Structure 1
């Protein structure tokens, strides 16, 4: 059998030495110990207990020597009983030390994990939207999981391991040479016979372990993609379940094959170590036995020497990889610090003012854009290469530097509805994201109620501005929990009233679990229209003074759109509204329509004013409705006329042609 210390050596030789090639940023070690400072007293107790445990390593072999030489051979019962009681006492003390070290190890380790995870999570939450559009979710989760756990190992695992192994090795070597320098020297000369094959097989097993981890990761990715609602639906719609099963089976087979190979190498590894251990034991007992016969020392000393020499290999194996252990832990800390050091682009100024929800007269605040220019930030400004390794293989978009908005100026009057129309990519969504301060403009200013939004607190800004996008996100939780996300203090009555106003209560009321119905992953248990109405109910519960709607009815069927429109009539009442309109009936009724083209306000005015102007809006509106009316049933024209639904081409409506049948210039080229 291979002893416990020997197994420690085996694990040491399997570690990946490639980590030592990575460079650690200056100051990482100093910052690392900064996280350990709050745990200095538990850490002191833990390290002291670890040192005591290392010293106890030599106690049992020495007691065994005393038992054999002065007890059994000398036939002294008192010595035998005393040694037996001492062994029991040492065992109890060692068990107590194990409890103490385990308790403080867990307390320090879990505390460090908590501190790091909460700090990283809080810091990531404050990153701009551009950060999340670039970073891979799996990479972020890895920082909060694997790297954080690896970081705490730097303080708890590596520190205690180095201390324990160094002390154990020193104590054992001193005891060995005290008992017999000759046998100890012969035993230590056999160490290379143990280390060399262990390293050779260890490297091979490390490579197999890496391949196995990669294959398991690929298999896990396949499961994640196919087991979510969207992936499962796609496989079913295209009739690919059998192919998916075959694909998964092929990957699982590779995992199986490499697992068998790894286990066989492991078996060869263990057999080799067992044979070497047997060789070592034979040499020690052979040489030592001869010395015992010649009277150089007693038989108990020989047994103690054999046990102590066997325990030398564990610390040596562990310490042979101490550089790898330290660097692995420091790399994890470095990767965690890399995220913490990424400064958010959106910051709250010191002494920022609180933005009032309404003025003294109870009027909602206005929105003003003053010569606003904006370009989306580059990867270097908002992200990390290690978080988007796939994305960074592609060159940066050259059009990012050109900008999305160019000196945009307009005013959305207080309590009025302003609609944004125009082709895809014109900058409409960007304008709405600047209002909610998902981004800051590069030039110019965005003002709400006369206040530059960069001068107000983020909490008060988000309290004033409410947003509903075309793809309303719902958490995998109950309808109630999704609604209360907007205002946790809302009463049951307020929740129900918000549902009624959003035209969703009739559905919720008849559900078996009512408000406690689980909506599923991203709300997939609800239809598109139902999700949008739940999102509107959430908005109404928040009761913002400013409402931003980004294509809130896009991709909905006529019945769902009508229900959402009725909910919107309530949601927009008495509020300053900024609406991106493709299929919204509010276009005709808007107090102001802004036509956005190529990042600029091309036209502005009411529906009738823009029609009378005969510009781009008039061409789009008249062309589309004439082509639509020529294909509709009269009853449908009446319904659409009542709803006033202008289906622009980039919102899923019919093909639009210019006055002479040519494709309008504002439409993107075919195939885009």
Structure 2
């Protein structure tokens, strides 16, 4: 990750006490300091050239057209002065072109770095973050918020420097020409600066509200216009309700946009009006000075000086207005930067421990053990309109598992998803987990690949606590087929190769054969180049399931987790999937969550879970021997359902 947006573990109180946004923006631009230096040189050069024009104007009047010594016009001098006045804008324009190219390159590159690093950081966040946060809210920060700071990184910084240099040069030139008129010109500036600060604070608040509203709109769009969302609306005839939900969010966004756009308009109208009438006031003051009403140096106030001074006033007006507008834009953008950095500052809960080791796949036997495991899900909290893990609102670091284990008190049983779970799966065994819905079956399997960390106890592979293994190493060891496999919008070949991008065509097709899906793929006109559609909706449930099995076979992990992989399938499809699963479970440790108990009769060991506790364990025959046991009751219920 780039140093400019390096992640830090902050508490909410830290964020309230400090405002590190500007230094971090500077760090974000640090890799481009060479180009930025060239931009500054170009800005100073352009400002220096244009600041010469008023002095040339004074020379035209006082030395060439109307010489102060009363001599006739000096046409030769006039020609040189006019040539210089024509050449300066040409040179300034050429410099401006180079400056704009450099600015655009730096700004867009820095924005790409910010967007890429934010995406990288989000990829490392734990699963709990995404289960507690709206996908649309995440997308909004990645797209809308980053896009919202685009002008700051591409134009605003240069505009501030350019206009600051221009204003400084104009101010110095005005003082040189007439310090008396300069004081009169700038007498209102302190009031304008104070008013600008007040407007800026209001615009920051509105900018945050506007982005939060836009985030909500993005979330509604992502939910309602996804394939699942459209299907749900059609099934329950909720089109009008979805449209009204979006329209209401859209109306709120419109109100905020209008309010944000109008904030400060009165202020700028007053400033612009003041600047517009100032030359008239200067003419009046000049008349009083020349007439002796104001004894402050009438001898130095020539016609050329007056023309040059009012010219400088015109040059001062626009940069000052732009600086004020840009200042407000910067304050608006700072609100967006804070939203972006809030996500960056969320340290992932699942990270490599110091000294974590890589466990090579070819050295793994596949023994899995859960020992004295207690687990509960963290409570979600709010952060700028997005739900996040509760650890962010704590004043101190969350306790590690060992520290929690030493605490004598326990919360009520209802808060625990798993309670004192102990189970062992030996190398090469097929272990099944059964139980009613909500008993903790999926949660148990999620602890093995460290999608979540145990609250107490330990999960180990071949005697190694999974927290002592690197996350990358652990990902190579464990494969998973879920009940609803995810396929991205791409070709079948791309979806399969996601498990192993370097896999050959022969390896991909062999994995498909082993998963009983190769012949079906070849029946499609485009074969392996068939596009699956959004979330694989162009394929049937059994086809998606077998593709998911083929994908994990291509990965070839020593430990396999099957999360109700045959539920909701017809008998023929279930047979094909079951055959594929039998091939997948050979020579590897497998943990299967079973919905249809007929698929796990041959399991080496079956664990029964109720309310997060292991209530029984044994083989199919051993568990059926206890008619009052959980497994026996579930078996009889499924037999009756099948007969009925």
TM-score after normalising by structure 2? 0.79
142-151 or 119-128, larger mean C-alpha shift: 142-151
Which residue of structure 2 lines up, in the alignment, with residue 374 of structure 1?
Answer: 375
150-159 or 498-507, larger mean C-alpha shift: 150-159
- 2:310 paired with 1:303: no
Q: Which residue among 73, 76, 79 is the counterpart of 1:78?
A: 76
522-531 or 97-106, larger mean C-alpha shift: 97-106
Secondary structure of the equivalent of 1:532? helix
String of CA shifts for 1:443-467, please: whole Å, max 9, x gaps.
3332223333233333232222110
State the alpha-carbon separation in 1 of the partners of residues 497 and 191 from structure 2.
Answer: 67
String of CA shifts for 1:382-409, please: whole Å, max 9, x gaps.
x8734635998xx999769943223322
Contact 2:566 2:574 in 1 (8 A): yes
Which residue of structure 2 lines up, in the alignment, with residue 510 of structure 1?
Answer: 523
Which residue of structure 2 lines up, in the alignment, with residue 448 of structure 1?
Answer: 461
Structure 1 residues 166 and 440, CA, compared in 2 at 3 Å: closer, same or farther?
same
State the alpha-carbon separation in 1 of the partners of residues 582 and 456 from structure 2.
Answer: 35
Structure 1 residues 525 and 189, CA, compared in 2 at 3 Å: closer, same or farther?
same
- 2:532 paired with 1:519: yes
- 2:599 paired with 1:586: yes
- 2:420 paired with 1:407: yes
Q: Which residue among 541, 545, 552 is the counterpart of 1:532?
A: 545
State the alpha-carbon separation in 2 of the partners of residues 401 and 186 from structure 1.
Answer: 74
Q: CA deviation at 1:554?
A: 2.5
Structure 1 residues 174 and 461, CA, compared in 2 at 3 Å: closer, same or farther?
closer
Q: CA deviation at 1:622?
A: 4.8
Q: CA deviation at 1:315?
A: 4.4
> How does 1:258-277 map onto structure 2 within 5 Å?
none
Secondary structure of the equivalent of 1:574? coil
State the alpha-carbon separation in 2 of the partners of residues 334 and 191 from structure 1.
Answer: 30
- 2:518 paired with 1:488: no
- 2:634 paired with 1:621: yes
Which residue of structure 1 lines up, in the alignment, with residue 121 of structure 2?
Answer: 123
- 2:100 paired with 1:102: yes
Contact 1:374 1:443 in 2 (8 A): yes
Contact 1:358 1:365 in 2 (8 A): no
Structure 1 residues 398 and 279, CA, compared in 2 at 3 Å: closer, same or farther?
farther
State the alpha-carbon separation in 1 of the partners of residues 195 and 377 from structure 2.
Answer: 56
Contact 1:375 1:400 in 2 (8 A): no
String of CA shifts for 1:4-28, please: whole Å, max 9, x gaps.
xxxxxxxxxxxxxxxxxx8452766
> How does 1:571-610 map onto structure 2 within 5 Å?
571-583=584-596, 585-610=598-623
State the alpha-carbon separation in 2 of the partners of residues 150 and 254 from structure 1.
Answer: 18
Q: CA deviation at 1:179?
A: 2.3
70-79 or 317-326, larger mean C-alpha shift: 317-326
Contact 1:65 1:304 in 2 (8 A): yes
State the alpha-carbon separation in 2 of the partners of residues 156 and 411 from structure 1.
Answer: 58
Which residue of structure 1 lines up, in the alignment, with residue 404 of structure 2?
Answer: none
- 2:361 paired with 1:357: yes
Q: CA deviation at 1:538?
A: 0.8
State the alpha-carbon separation in 2 of the partners of residues 342 and 254 from structure 1.
Answer: 29
Secondary structure of the equivalent of 2:606? strand
Q: CA deviation at 1:194?
A: 7.9
Contact 2:609 2:616 in 1 (8 A): yes
Which residue of structure 2 lines up, in the alignment, with residue 431 of structure 1?
Answer: 444
> How does 1:274-289 map onto structure 2 within 5 Å?
278-285=276-283
Which residue of structure 1 lines up, in the alignment, with residue 236 of structure 2?
Answer: 238
Q: Which residue among 554, 557, 566 is the counterpart of 1:541?
A: 554
- 2:560 paired with 1:562: no
String of CA shifts for 1:455-496, please: whole Å, max 9, x gaps.
333323222211011121112222211111100011112112
Contact 1:484 1:490 in 2 (8 A): yes
- 2:42 paired with 1:49: yes
State the alpha-carbon separation in 2 of the partners of residues 69 and 314 from structure 1.
Answer: 27
Structure 1 residues 440 and 493, CA, compared in 2 at 3 Å: closer, same or farther?
same
Contact 1:464 1:544 in 2 (8 A): yes
Q: CA deviation at 1:43?
A: 2.8
State the alpha-carbon separation in 2 of the partners of residues 568 and 416 from structure 1.
Answer: 14
RMSD across aligned C-alpha pairs, in angstroms?
Answer: 4.2
Number of residue-to-residue matches in the alignment: 602
Contact 1:364 1:574 in 2 (8 A): no
505-514 or 145-154, larger mean C-alpha shift: 145-154
150-159 or 541-550, larger mean C-alpha shift: 150-159
514-523 or 158-167, larger mean C-alpha shift: 158-167
Structure 1 residues 205 and 434, CA, compared in 2 at 3 Å: closer, same or farther?
closer
String of CA shifts for 1:618-662, please: whole Å, max 9, x gaps.
54135314532552xxxxxxxxxxxxxxxxxxxxxxxxxxxxxxx
Q: Which residue among 36, 51, 54 is the counterpart of 1:58?
A: 51
State the alpha-carbon separation in 1 of the partners of residues 274 and 445 from structure 2.
Answer: 72
State the alpha-carbon separation in 2 of the partners of residues 209 and 368 from structure 1.
Answer: 51
String of CA shifts for 1:189-227, please: whole Å, max 9, x gaps.
466898899999999999998887777666555544432
> How does 1:191-270 map onto structure 2 within 5 Å?
221-241=219-239
Structure 1 residues 482 and 605, CA, compared in 2 at 3 Å: closer, same or farther?
same
State the alpha-carbon separation in 1 of the partners of residues 52 and 158 from structure 2.
Answer: 20
Q: CA deviation at 1:35?
A: 4.1
State the alpha-carbon separation in 1 of the partners of residues 142 and 582 from structure 2.
Answer: 43
State the alpha-carbon separation in 1 of the partners of residues 199 and 355 from structure 2.
Answer: 62
TM-score after normalising by structure 1? 0.76
Which residue of structure 1 lines up, in the alignment, with residue 111 of structure 2?
Answer: 113
Contact 1:190 1:280 in 2 (8 A): no
329-338 or 547-556, larger mean C-alpha shift: 329-338
Which residue of structure 2 lines up, in the alignment, with residue 459 of structure 1?
Answer: 472
String of CA shifts for 1:572-624, please: whole Å, max 9, x gaps.
22221100001253221212111112222211111111111334235413531
Q: Which residue among 157, 178, 201 is the counterpart of 2:176?
A: 178
State the alpha-carbon separation in 1 of the partners of residues 120 and 469 from structure 2.
Answer: 21
Q: CA deviation at 1:128?
A: 1.8
Structure 1 residues 323 and 191, CA, compared in 2 at 3 Å: closer, same or farther?
closer
Structure 1 residues 325 and 398, CA, compared in 2 at 3 Å: closer, same or farther?
farther
Contact 1:154 1:330 in 2 (8 A): no
Q: Which residue among 120, 134, 139 is the counterpart of 1:136?
A: 134
Structure 1 residues 541 and 217, CA, compared in 2 at 3 Å: closer, same or farther?
closer
- 2:506 paired with 1:497: no
Secondary structure of the equivalent of 2:454? coil
Which residue of structure 2 lines up, in the alignment, with residue 39 of structure 1?
Answer: 32
Secondary structure of the equivalent of 1:613? coil
Secondary structure of the equivalent of 2:438? coil
Q: CA deviation at 1:412?
A: 1.3
Secondary structure of the equivalent of 1:589? coil
Segments of structure 1 that go 5 or more residues without pairing to the other structure are 1-21, 632-672
Q: CA deviation at 1:548?
A: 0.3
Q: CA deviation at 1:337?
A: 4.5
